[in-house]
A and B are shown apart, each in its own frame.
Chain A
Amino acid sequence: MAKKKFAWLSILFAVLLVVSACTPADELPDAEAATKPDGGKGGGLVLATTAAPTLFNPYYSTDTSSSTIEGFIFSGLVTVDHDFNPEGDLAESWEFSDDGLRWTFHLRDNVKWHDGEPFTADDVVFSYNIPLSEDYVGPRGLPFEIIEEINKVDDYTVEFVLSEPYAPFITITAQFEVLPKHILGDVPIADLGKHKFNTKEPVGTGPFKFKEWREGEYILLDRNDDYFLGAPKLDSITYKIVPDTNTAMAQLQVGEINLAGISPEYTEMAEDLAQKGKIELSSGPSNAFEYIGYNLRNELFQDKKVRQALTHAIDKEAIIQAILGGAGTVANGPGSPANWAFNPDMPAFDYDPEKAKQMLKEAGWEPGPDGILQKDGKKFEFVLKTTSANEIRQQIAEVAQQQWSEIGIKTSIELLEWSAYVEQTSPPNWNFDAMVAGWSIGSDPDPTWFWHTSEIENGLNYNGYSNPKVDELLSQNTQISDLEERKRVIAEADAIVAEDQPNTFIYYVEGYLAKSPNLHGPEYSSANTYYKLHEWYID
């Protein structure tokens, strides 16, 4: 009797062991894969993400993991190098008319899809028409609104006609890769977002071919021997899904993964590992800035002098040293030293609590009996919101609270879970007094998104910042095709924003990339980490 029970149990156990091994795709690795050495030590790149990708179709995905993998499988018309300079990819060259309205791309004629079909101008016309279609249900309509028409000139030439000159257009062609018309051409556009192509069988022209997506575990890509820039030297890419950064760091340490971006909380640990020779680190400015944003709808923050005083009270350098271990540079205004449009000479409001008090006094704020500043019987107190998803920002909030209390301003910190934080602070709620936050800047440094008055109602201008001069400059900036001229205009706008201090800009983020010592090729870049990926190798 007891024996029989045990036998049942062992059978159940064995069945589960096998079942859980064979889901979801009941696919045995082929002989070639089986003889390959273990991911960490062979010719395979092994990456880890804490956020699982969603789907592989650039016209429908919105998350970083997905777009990273899309970059491996698909190719765009152009790509960017380590410094955001556009470089031909599927297009060998391009030119635009003097009025900036007509862009012509000359395509490579030696490109094949992963299934062997040739790539032509038809694929480009098909792809870029997806978000323009009336039936399109997806998040990417906006960047395509300026496209008036897309014409196939011949098999290897396409022409775009824009409704107005738009300098960032070239980065759109880098961001949105081309999809195969011969596979998706007959699919109704309305169904494209949920098509199995996106999750089960994506076919691209990129250096790596989709092989397998094992739910919750990893995505496996194989080398594309017919890649148009030459077969990649790496055999495969494994994109592992791990639950948290701790796991990723542990795996990096023992070589189970061989390339990883290091988030600021972990730079100290990474530097320690680098010193022991377990990893190699490279770093550089990341295309992002962190700030404390003020809700200008709130009476407290409507006076520019007050905002400047609030900034004077914050010791940014101390924050960078104490919280980030030095991994950042003091920010005086928007932008980032990582991109070409950065203005190094913006007005600065350095740490000076005495001056802060003085300026607040001039603005009518006097210490009350309890030491808290008062004006017309109203106390200077507000809530500083941030998200529990970001430890650094929590700590910044604590420092700010402390430093403001020293000049007589009372703040309370409210930590919100990410999703709740986004809902409360974004349109149409704007339910915050001040918040610790950060923005990443896109491949094109256009600051319109953050500061233009038109971005208040529905856009990223959460502060509700509005300055006619800035609006004018920003509207101009995207119409200028001359880089130097455009840089000057953006710099001027950024300087005005810095003077207005709708935010206390705290620091420009420094980014770190860690790799195994035996992996050659990767180097930190905020523009394109995987630049010239097909030349990377492992020895």
Chain B
Amino acid sequence: MAIPLLFIITIISFAMMRMAPGDPTALMMDPMIKQENLAAYKESYGLNDNVVIQYGRWLGNMVQGNFGESLIRQGVPVKDLILARLPNTLLLMLVSTIIAFLISIPLGVYSATRRNSKTDYAITFISFLGIATPSFWIGLMLIMVLSVHLGWFPIGGVANIGEPFSIWDRLHHLILPAFVLATADMAGLTRYSRSSMLDVLRQDYIRTAKANGFRKRTVIFRHGLRNALIPIITIFGLMLPSFIGGSVIIESVFAWPGIGLLFMDAAFQRDYPVIMAVVVIASALVVIGNLLADILYAVFDPRIEY
């Protein structure tokens, strides 16, 4: 299922990309540049051919693992650009996923066990506020307060330039963008884990456990939480696309050199091979994420076997 899906995604993306007006030479506006030179440039990259032929050529190369060369960064293979940036994006996504889970699940559980208490209402209120607030805005606010005014965090980047590698330095740069990227899903995740936990707490086996005289904590964490987590794992798979989409925005707010930022630049510059490479990788990530969620589901839920 995954392969034909990827294939269809590439066709649609390629078509949309080429339907957009403009081309890579739009950035070369200069009286000292002759139209003939630009035409020769386009010719040398095969941009004058029929779009279907261009797509076929691109697809043929891609299945052999060749993403071609950047049209803007002449002579630089797209693969190099992607490899330089993909680890940054994956790191950001991984850390923000961890943050999202670490914060949301305890909040959700806490909310569920103290249903209709003041704390529950407060958490619910904050969650809805979180859902309603765009993450780029949160990012800009945090930069303004924590970085510009208080100077606690660097303004963007992945590490201090010209300094040797240090985990602390990397974390220092990572924490704000990862947190902000996490906020996008944190709110929803809190709501999910709350309702999932509430469902579980109503089950007979919880009542049985309570009746057996287990301590409240044991009941909630051993019997309740483990079962409540199962539906949340599915959510993890569904969250991936929003993480990838969100990373484009967060990366540009925090000057985080990942593939999201690469994609945005490439889109404005009409660097077709780079756009396509990112599309393929992002779609593959989503497909893999869903697959992973299915597998995890089977691992956590003994009732499911493949």
User: In the docked arrangement, what's the CA distance between A54 and B25, Å?
Assistant: 13
User: In the docked arrangement, what's the CA distance between A243 and B261, Å?
Assistant: 8
Q: Which residues of A contact B87 (CB under 8 A)?
A: 16, 19-20, 23
User: In the docked arrangement, what's the CA distance between A31 and B238, Å?
Assistant: 46
B residues 33-91 near A (Cβ < 8 Å) are 33-38, 40-41, 44, 69, 72-76, 80-81, 83-85, 87-88, 90-91
User: In the docked arrangement, what's the CA distance between A22 and B170, Å?
Assistant: 12
Instruction: Type the 1/0 row for B116-148, where 1 means its CB is closer than 8 Å to any CB of A.
Output: 000000000000000000000000100110011
User: In the docked arrangement, what's the CA distance between A258 and B160, Å?
Assistant: 15
Q: Choose among A19, A238, A420 the residue that contacts B162 (Cβ–Cβ < 8 A).
A: A238
Minimal Cβ-Cβ distance residue in B for A143: B32
Q: Which residues of B contact A449 (CB under 8 A)?
A: 31
Q: Choose among A140, A214, A238, A254 the residue that contacts B147 (Cβ–Cβ < 8 A).
A: A254
Name the segment of B5-13, B194-202, B250-258 touching the other chain: B250-258
User: In the docked arrangement, what's the CA distance between A247 and B154, Å?
Assistant: 11
Q: Which residues of A contact B148 (CB under 8 A)?
A: 250, 253-254
Assess the A20–B91 pair: CB atoms within 8 A.
yes
Q: Which residues of B contact A220 (CB under 8 A)?
A: 161-162
Given known contacts A215-B80, A240-B161, A458-B35, A16 and B90 CB-to-CB distance under 8 angstroms: yes
Minimal Cβ-Cβ distance residue in B for A33: B162
Q: Which residues of B contact A458 (CB under 8 A)?
A: 34-35
Size of the chain A interface, CB-CB below 8 angstroms: 77
B306 contacts partner chain A, Cβ-Cβ < 8 Å: no
B27 contacts partner chain A, Cβ-Cβ < 8 Å: yes
Q: Which residues of B contact A138 (CB under 8 A)?
A: 37, 41
Given known contacts A16-B94, A140-B32, A194-B75, A21 and B165 CB-to-CB distance under 8 angstroms: yes
Q: Choose among A23, A62, A236, A238 the residue that contacts B33 (Cβ–Cβ < 8 A).
A: A62
Instruction: Type the 1/0 row for A126-156, where 1 means its CB is closer than 8 Å to any CB of B.
Output: 0000000000011111110000000000000
Assess the B26–A422 pair: CB atoms within 8 A.
yes
Assess the A250–B75 pair: CB atoms within 8 A.
no
Given known contacts A63-B27, A137-B40, A218-B161, A424 and B21 CB-to-CB distance under 8 angstroms: yes
User: In the docked arrangement, what's the CA distance between A246 and B141, Å?
Assistant: 12
Instruction: Type the 1/0 row for A15-36, where 1 means its CB is closer than 8 Å to any CB of B.
Output: 0111111111000110001101
Q: Which residues of B contact A347 (CB under 8 A)?
A: none
Q: Which residues of B contact A39 (CB under 8 A)?
A: 160-162
User: In the docked arrangement, what's the CA distance between A44 and B162, Å?
Assistant: 10
A68 contacts partner chain B, Cβ-Cβ < 8 Å: no
User: In the docked arrangement, what's the CA distance between A241 and B161, Å?
Assistant: 12
Q: Which residues of B contact A215 (CB under 8 A)?
A: 80-81, 84-85, 257
Assess the A140–B37 pair: CB atoms within 8 A.
yes
User: In the docked arrangement, what's the CA distance between A253 and B149, Å?
Assistant: 10
Given known contacts A16-B94, A141-B34, A247-B255, A419 and B84 CB-to-CB distance under 8 angstroms: no
Size of the chain B interface, CB-CB below 8 angstroms: 71
Assess the A460–B31 pair: CB atoms within 8 A.
yes
Assess the B162–A199 pair: CB atoms within 8 A.
no
Given known contacts A20-B88, A243-B251, A216 and B262 CB-to-CB distance under 8 angstroms: yes
Minimal Cβ-Cβ distance residue in A for B143: A250
Given known contacts A215-B81, A220-B162, A21 and B170 CB-to-CB distance under 8 angstroms: yes
Assess the B26–A419 pair: CB atoms within 8 A.
yes
Q: Choose among A24, A62, A193 the residue that contacts B80 (Cβ–Cβ < 8 A).
A: A24
Minimal Cβ-Cβ distance residue in B for A457: B35
User: In the docked arrangement, what's the CA distance between A184 and B262, Å?
Assistant: 30
B29 contacts partner chain A, Cβ-Cβ < 8 Å: yes
Give the shortest distance, in Å, between A465 (CB) and chain B (any CB). Answer: 15
User: In the docked arrangement, what's the CA distance between A44 and B161, Å?
Assistant: 11
Give the shortest distance, in Å, between B291 (CB) and chain A (any CB). Answer: 17
Given known contacts A17-B167, A256-B154, A54 and B74 CB-to-CB distance under 8 angstroms: yes
Give the shortest distance, in Å, between A412 (CB) and chain B (any CB). Answer: 19
Instruction: Type the 1/0 row for A155-176, where 1 means its CB is closer than 8 Å to any CB of B.
Output: 0000000000000000000000
Assess the A38–B163 pair: CB atoms within 8 A.
yes
B191 contacts partner chain A, Cβ-Cβ < 8 Å: no
A17-B91, A196-B75 known, 12 other contacts, Cβ within 8 Å: A9-B98, A17-B167, A24-B83, A29-B164, A34-B163, A38-B160, A44-B162, A217-B157, A238-B162, A243-B261, A256-B154, A421-B22
Which B residues lie at the A interface, using CB under 8 A? Answer: 20-23, 26-38, 40-41, 44, 69, 72-76, 80-81, 83-85, 87-88, 90-91, 94-95, 98, 140, 143-144, 147-148, 151, 154-165, 167, 170, 251-253, 255, 257-258, 261-262, 264-265, 268-270
For the complex of A and B, the 3 pairs showing the least CB-CB separation, nearest first, are A419-B22, A194-B75, A216-B257
Q: Can you list 22 pairs linking A and B with CB atoms under 8 Å apart? A: A13-B94, A16-B91, A20-B158, A22-B165, A29-B162, A33-B162, A38-B162, A39-B161, A54-B73, A62-B27, A140-B32, A141-B36, A193-B75, A214-B257, A216-B258, A216-B262, A243-B261, A247-B255, A419-B269, A422-B26, A442-B32, A458-B35
